[in-house]
């Protein structure tokens, strides 16, 4: 065996060992528990600091076995954007969703960086299946962030209680550990805005009322929305409590659809003032101001009585992208300003080459909460 080169002699004089070559072994079919991929290490170059970030190699294995280049991959719990990152590197298209704005922001930043690298110089990714396989072409070089809800579900419970009390005119209770206050003669419970009202919440309410046999006031539940099963639960509850003497009748204010009280969760979009001009062969884009009512509102809640003041609009902006020949549908990034460190700011003034003919310039500004403002401007030929 030694003559055939099959023995390994350790240099330190240890026991000789049998060599095995990759061609000799058939390999083992992957089982349902994978232990060969290490978790993301905090020193890794792609570590985003997101607490539940998965390793790209793990997601790449799933993508390889379940899709082909240019397929569309959906991850509806995108987190730090690992699926989108891997899919972008492997030439598939992607859709990512998340309830948390921080996750959207982390994903957007991560993907902007990857796409910018792909635009600057095609990079060979280590995520392909074998060393001699080339990286597939990117399926797209841009993405858009869509806000599909009018409200910010990451809203904290205390924030929700404060807002709801103010808008509905609830008298706060500081002593009751369960109910949040009263409105007219009714006891009020505010269901945390992070989830719709469910029968579990109602069972909890029932336990609470069972423990207060003398409590005869009606109950008002304030929630963003409610599950159908909760609606049925309440109908059954109220059916058993009909008539003048009935106690603890339940009524619900669904803020998401309530025409009277629901108004305060309307979203006021971010806006920007931008000048766009052609100077000879150059396109000159200058951002003069950006206003994000959501960020200001958030700061106001944190600051309490002090009015928040932001001297420089750039402190509200995460990144800026420019498409000098926007077709109205697909935003193709020709320039992107994504500060590397969180503390760095965008530049705000940009010059880039532009064609002589008629064109539409689009400028996309993404604020610190992941909200986009798109400004377009037509230039004549």
Ligand X SMILES: C[S@@+](CC[C@H](N)C(=O)[O-])C[C@H]1O[C@@H](n2cnc3c(N)ncnc32)[C@H](O)[C@@H]1O
Rule CB under 6 A: which residues touch ligand X? 50, 52-54, 76-77, 79-80, 82, 97-100, 103
Do 359 and 286 form a contact (C-beta atoms < 8 A)? no
Q: What is the b/e burial string over 40-70, where b = at least 16 CB atoms within 10 angstroms of the residue's CB?
A: beeeeeeebebeebbbbebbbbebeeebeee
Reported as half-sphere exposure (CB side, CA atoms, 13 A), residue 67 has a value of: 22
Q: In whole angstroms, how close is the CB of 163 to ligand X at the nearest point?
A: 21
Q: In whole angstroms, how close is the CB of 40 to ligand X at the nearest point?
A: 8
Q: In whole angstroms, how close is the CB of 212 to ligand X at the nearest point?
A: 33
Residue 206, number of CB atoms within 10 A of its CB: 15
Q: In whole angstroms, how close is the CB of 66 to ligand X at the nearest point?
A: 15
Nearest-angstrom CA–CA distance, 253 and 173 = 19
Q: For ligand X, which is the closer residue by CB, 110 or 189?
A: 110
Nearest-angstrom CA–CA distance, 363 and 326 = 9
Q: In whole angstroms, how close is the CB of 194 to ligand X at the nearest point?
A: 9
CA-atom Rg of the chain in angstroms: 28
Do 64 and 118 form a contact (C-beta atoms < 8 A)? no
CB contact set of 303 (below 8 Å; sequence gap of 6+)? none
Q: For ligand X, which is the closer residue by CB, 66 or 130?
A: 66
Nearest-angstrom CA–CA distance, 190 and 170 = 10
For 123, phi then psi, to 5°, come to -105, 140
Q: For ligand X, which is the closer residue by CB, 90 or 379?
A: 90
Select the residue whose beta carbon is closest to ligand X and give its number. 79
3-state secondary structure (DSSP) of residue 22: helix
Q: For ligand X, which is the closer residue by CB, 98 or 318?
A: 98
Label the pairing between strands 250-254 and 219-223: parallel
Q: In whole angstroms, how close is the CB of 190 to ligand X at the nearest point?
A: 20
Do 177 and 208 form a contact (C-beta atoms < 8 A)? no
Q: In whole angstroms, how close is the CB of 76 to ligand X at the nearest point?
A: 6
Q: In whole angstroms, how close is the CB of 24 to ligand X at the nearest point?
A: 36
Q: For ligand X, which is the closer residue by CB, 85 or 205?
A: 85
Residue 6, number of CB atoms within 10 A of its CB: 13
Q: For ligand X, which is the closer residue by CB, 62 or 296?
A: 62
Q: For ligand X, which is the closer residue by CB, 53 or 294?
A: 53
Angle at 338 between CA 337 and CA 340, to 5 degrees: 135
Q: For ligand X, which is the closer residue by CB, 99 or 277?
A: 99
């Amino acid at each position: 065996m030694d003559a055939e080169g099959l023995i390994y002699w350790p240099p330190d004089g240890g026991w000789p060992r049998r060599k095995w070559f990759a061609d000799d072994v058939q390999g083992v079919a992957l089982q349902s528990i994978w232990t060969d991929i290490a978790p993301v290490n905090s020193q890794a170059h792609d570590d985003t600091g997101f607490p539940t970030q998965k390793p790209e190699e793990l997601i790449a294995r799933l993508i390889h076995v379940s899709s082909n280049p240019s397929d569309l991959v959906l991850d509806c719990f995108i987190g730090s954007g690992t699926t989108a990152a891997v899919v972008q590197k492997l030439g598939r298209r992607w859709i990512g969703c998340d309830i948390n704005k921080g996750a959207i922001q982390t994903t957007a930043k991560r993907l902007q960086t990857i796409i910018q690298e792909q635009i600057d110089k095609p990079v060979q990714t280590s995520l392909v299946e074998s060393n001699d396989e080339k990286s597939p072409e990117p399926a797209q070089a841009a993405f858009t962030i869509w806000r599909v809800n009018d409200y910010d579900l990451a809203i904290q419970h205390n924030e929700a209680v404060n807002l709801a009390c103010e808008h509905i005119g609830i008298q706060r209770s500081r002593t009751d550990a369960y109910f949040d206050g009263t409105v007219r003669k009714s006891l009020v419970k505010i269901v945390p805005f992070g989830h719709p009202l469910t029968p579990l919440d109602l069972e909890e309410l029932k336990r609470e009322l069972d423990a207060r046999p003398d409590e005869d006031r009606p109950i008002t539940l304030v929630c963003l929305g409610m599950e159908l099963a909760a609606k049925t639960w309440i109908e059954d509850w109220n059916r058993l409590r009909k008539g003048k003497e009935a106690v603890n009748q339940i009524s619900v204010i669904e803020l998401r659809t309530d025409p009277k009280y629901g108004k305060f969760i309307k979203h006021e979009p971010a806006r920007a003032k931008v000048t766009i001009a052609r100077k000879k062969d150059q396109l000159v884009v200058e951002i003069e101001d950006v206003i994000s009512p959501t960020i200001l509102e958030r700061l106001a809640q944190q600051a309490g009585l002090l009015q928040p003041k932001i001297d420089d609009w750039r402190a509200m902006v995460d990144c800026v992208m420019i498409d000098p020949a926007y077709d109205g549908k697909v935003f193709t990034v020709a320039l992107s300003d994504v500060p590397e460190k969180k503390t760095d700011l965008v530049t705000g003034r940009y010059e880039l080459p532009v064609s002589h003919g008629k064109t539409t310039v689009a400028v996309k500004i993404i604020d610190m909460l992941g909200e986009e403002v798109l400004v377009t401007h037509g230039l004549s030929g």
